[in-house]
Amino acid sequence: MIRKIYHRRVFVMIDVRIETFLTLCRLMNYRKTAEELNMTQPAVTQHIHYLEDHYGCRLFIYDRKSLKMTAEAELLKKYAENIYYQEKKLKTALADKSCRQLSIGATKTVGEYVIAEHIGSFLKEETNRISVNIDNTENLLRALSEGKIDFAVIEGFFDRSRYASKLYRREPFVGICGKDHPFAGREVTLEEAMREHLFVREEGSGTREILEQLLTEQNRSLSEFKKISVISSFGLTSKLLSENGGIAFAYRAAGENDPRLGSFKIKGRDIVREFNYVYLDTPFSESDAEYFDTFRTKK
């Protein structure tokens, strides 16, 4: 079954074998893929062999009984994800022309402390609709790849070879502490900071990756702090910092409107990072990000 659609200079071809391929990429197991698609396992194998013959390359190999994607499969996966996302957006556009519906993602700092005013401005337009998923970078990038969101506003790192992007804004990355902490308003050495109780986000979060990169550049690690607590909520972290001491590292926006908190800098490290729109490299995605951006008051 092949469907061909031409829209906005994009040729979209959806093939049931591509759906099989993408499902196998996600599950990395022929049996589970067959069960999810209500197919036989030989049929899944036949679909993959067809694609391998069609493109003239191996897509999957076994390495010590573990299924692995080849470099060619990674490339095909990128293009196939884009095609599926574009058809989904086209169906939505054709089905309902009365409103502009966006499904977006935001990392936690962006979602909780940066983007609320922007979303409010967007929703003042009567025909605009939005759903917002606040999660860590890793999960949002997975949602992008699976076509579950149109774009994400992400703090920190992402694979620029896999996703298209556009700058949202630049934001200082600073130390956060209680307003009465000895570090508040000061510049301190990394050695001083490491003698403190550190509150850090969970693995996969953008702010944690930035902190780990900073430490790696100094040949240091998180384990060298006096004490570490992993807290996924910055709201809870703020309360703990104000009542129990300790420090955290976050974007300035996360703490600047909380009267309980102060900030500090690490000596010799003036850290500024980007918040970016991140999306699949398709005209639909880019158009959605650009449209949303028109409702923002630039800082």
Task: Say yes or no: 12 and 85 in one domain.
Answer: yes
pLDDT confidence of residue 179: 94
CA distances from 208 to 109, 134, 138, 221, 246 (A): 12, 16, 12, 12, 16
Q: What distance in Å separates the CA atoms of residue 20 and residue 33, rounded to the nearest whole number?
A: 7
* pTM: predicted TM-score of the whole model, two decimal places: 0.66
Task: Say yes or no: 235 and 197 in one domain.
Answer: yes
Task: Say yes or no: 158 and 287 in one domain.
Answer: yes
In a domain, 111, yes or no: yes
Residue 154, classed as helix, strand or coil, is: strand
In a domain, 211, yes or no: yes
In a domain, 27, yes or no: yes
Residues 6+ apart with CB under 8 A from 131: 102, 103, 104
Task: Say yes or no: 45 and 179 in one domain.
Answer: no
Last-in-domain residue among 36, 61, 93: 93
* CATH classification at residue 76: 1.10.10.10
Task: Say yes or no: 81 and 115 in one domain.
Answer: no
Last-in-domain residue among 36, 66, 93: 93
CB burial string 203-220: b at 16+ within 10 A, e below: eebbbbbbbeebbeeeee
Number of domains comprising the chain = 3
pLDDT confidence of residue 181: 96
In a domain, 15, yes or no: yes
Per-residue pLDDT of the chain in tens (299 residues, 90 and over written 9): 333 333 333 334 457 888 899 889 989 999 999 999 999 999 999 999 988 988 899 999 998 888 999 999 988 888 888 777 777 776 766 666 677 889 999 998 899 899 999 999 999 999 999 999 999 888 999 899 888 899 999 987 888 988 999 999 999 999 999 999 999 999 999 999 999 999 999 887 878 988 999 899 999 999 999 999 999 888 899 999 999 899 999 999 988 889 999 999 999 888 899 999 999 988 888 999 999 999 987 65
In a domain, 298, yes or no: no
Task: Say yes or no: 100 and 59 in one domain.
Answer: no
Picking from 182, 166, 205, the residue whose alpha carbon sits closest to that of residue 288 is 166
* CATH classification at residue 281: 3.40.190.10
Task: Say yes or no: 89 and 111 in one domain.
Answer: no
Task: Say yes or no: 148 and 186 in one domain.
Answer: no
pLDDT confidence of residue 97: 65
Task: Say yes or no: 60 and 192 in one domain.
Answer: no
Picking from 31, 85, 91, 79, the residue whose alpha carbon sits closest to that of residue 51 is 79
Type of residue at 106:
A
Last-in-domain residue among 93, 120, 149: 93
Phi, psi (rounded to 5 degrees) for 168: -95, -60
Task: Say yes or no: 84 and 199 in one domain.
Answer: no
Q: 146: domain range?
A: 96-169+274-293
In a domain, 299, yes or no: no
Task: Say yes or no: 193 and 281 in one domain.
Answer: no
Q: Maximum distance among all alpha carbons in the chain? A: 68
Task: Say yes or no: 108 and 67 in one domain.
Answer: no
In a domain, 179, yes or no: yes
In a domain, 235, yes or no: yes
CA distances from 75 to 26, 80, 184 (A): 14, 9, 48
